[in-house]
């Protein structure tokens, strides 16, 4: 497996797009193609893609214009049957030269759906070093995926079985459920882990994750990020996101394993109960977050009825 289709969601990304495209060209040992979905850009980003396409296997399509999550689902649905693997790409990062090769090697020979993700080097607007993304201490799985996204979308790669799974789930979500996707990477983590697939996390950073004023979702490290997550619990945003994720997973139906469907049903039920039902239900559900602080926040959300 040495071929991969890169899926890039584009929207007014011209400022940093050139460095990202150059990093594709610098990938080592991989035969790649590029599919770009432009979601209505008003800058020169689409023209930069057209210029980059000269001499490269690049396709530019129109996006659905319903936000970045829908744009990534649009890309996943648009990939043809011949791609053995796909790699999701933001428009403002810089990939390290071995990024694609490491992902393909990690997925090689593994049966069933595989989602690969990795650590990143967090950098500032001009690529100044800020630190590394976290190493997660607990196993990846559906009981974690229901309440926490730990698969960084800008590092995600899918093998063909995972891509087929995602495309089938997208077909089943035609209509209201597709609008319930909070973020595409969280949905993919839930879907692949819930189907019995394998989630592989690479402890080696594979890209420079650029932080700037235009980030839709930024760095999740530090005290400020923890306070932001607590604010989401108190405001009801976390509760709303959980409800939307549940609806999206219910739309997947029998694509999930019986065990995953049972966990999903328990989680949906406990959210409707009184405080005692919520706390007992959470304890019995097996649902967890990765850190002590995160787990405490989860219990707090159940206590105040914001889970």
Sheet holding 85-89, edge to edge: 58-62, 31-38, 3-10, 85-89, 157-159, 114-118, 198-202
Cα–chain center distance at 294? 19
Its sign, for the CA torsion 17, 48, 36, 86, is negative
Secondary structure (3-state) at 122: strand
Q: Are 199 and 290 a contacting pair, CB within 8 Å?
A: no
CA 162 centroid distance within chain = 13
pLDDT score, position 227: 79
- Tokens (6 digits) for 111: 């049966």
Report the C-alpha gap between 193 and 299 in whole angstroms: 23
**Stated length of the chain:** 307
In the chain (307 residues long), the average pLDDT of successive 10-residue segments reads 92 97 97 97 98 91 95 96 96 98 97 97 94 95 97 97 97 71 96 98 97 64 73 91 95 96 97 96 96 95 96
What backbone phi and psi angles, to 5 degrees, belong to 294?
-65, -40
pLDDT digits (tens, 9 = 90+) for 9-51: 999 999 999 999 999 999 999 999 999 999 999 999 999 999 9
pLDDT of residue 251: 93
Q: How far apart are CA 252 and CA 255, in angstroms?
A: 6
- Render 173-199 in DSSP notation, one character per residue: TTTGGGGG-S-HHHHHHHHHHHTT-EE
For 214-250, give one letter per residue: b (16+ CB within 10 A) or e.
eeeeebbeeeeeeeebbebbeeeebbebbbbbbbbbe
Contact at 8 Å (CB) between 165 and 88? Answer: no
106 φ/ψ angles, rounded to the nearest 5 degrees: -70, -30
List the 121-123 sheet strands across, edge first: 94-95, 207-210, 121-123, 129-132
The pLDDT, as a whole number, for residue 178 is 59
Q: What confidence tens digit (pLDDT) does each residue in 143-181 have? A: 999 999 999 999 999 999 999 999 999 999 876 555 678
pLDDT at 228: 80
Beta strands in 205-246 (DSSP E): 207-210
Residue 216 is predicted with a pLDDT of 53
Q: Which of 20, 87, 28, 80 is nearest to 48 (CA)?
A: 20
Tokens of 5: 């289709």
Torsion of CA 222, 184, 15, 212, to 10 degrees: -10
Angle at 153 between CA 296 and CA 194, to 5 degrees: 65
CA distances from 292 to 136, 138, 287, 298 (A): 11, 11, 13, 10
The model's pTM is 0.93
Nearest Cα residue to 116 out of 49, 193, 231: 193
Q: Which residues pair with 116 in a beta bridge?
A: 157, 200
- Residue 63: both structure tokens together: 């996006």
């Amino acid at each position: 497996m040495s071929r991969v289709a890169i899926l890039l969601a584009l929207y007014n990304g011209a400022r940093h797009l050139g460095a990202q495209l150059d990093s594709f060209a610098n990938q080592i040992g991989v035969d790649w193609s590029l599919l770009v979905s432009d979601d209505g850009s008003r800058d020169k980003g689409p023209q930069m893609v057209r210029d980059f396409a000269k001499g490269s296997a690049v396709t530019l399509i129109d996006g659905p214009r319903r936000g970045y999550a829908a744009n990534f689902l649009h890309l996943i649905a648009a990939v043809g049957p011949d791609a053995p693997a796909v790699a999701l790409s933001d428009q403002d990062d810089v990939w390290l030269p071995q990024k694609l090769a490491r992902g393909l090697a990690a997925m090689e020979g593994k049966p069933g759906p595989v989602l690969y993700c990795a650590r990143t080097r967090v950098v500032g607007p001009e690529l100044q070093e800020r630190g590394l993304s976290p190493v997660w201490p607990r196993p990846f799985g559906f009981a974690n995926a229901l309440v926490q996204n730990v698969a960084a979308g800008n590092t995600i790669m899918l093998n063909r079985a995972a891509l087929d799974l995602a495309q089938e789930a997208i077909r089943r979500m035609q209509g209201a459920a597709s609008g319930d996707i909070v973020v595409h990477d969280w949905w993919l983590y839930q879907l692949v882990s819930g189907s019995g697939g394998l989630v592989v996390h690479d402890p080696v950073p594979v890209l420079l994750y650029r932080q700037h004023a235009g980030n839709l979702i930024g760095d999740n490290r530090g005290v400020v990020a923890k306070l932001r997550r607590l604010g989401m619990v108190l405001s009801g945003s976390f509760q709303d996101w959980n409800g939307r994720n549940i609806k999206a997973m219910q739309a997947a139906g029998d694509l999930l394993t019986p065990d995953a469907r049972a966990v999903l049903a328990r989680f949906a039920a406990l959210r409707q109960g009184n405080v005692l039902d919520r706390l007992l239900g959470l304890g019995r559900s097996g649902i967890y977050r990765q850190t002590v602080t995160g787990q405490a926040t989860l219990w707090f959300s159940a206590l105040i009825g914001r889970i």
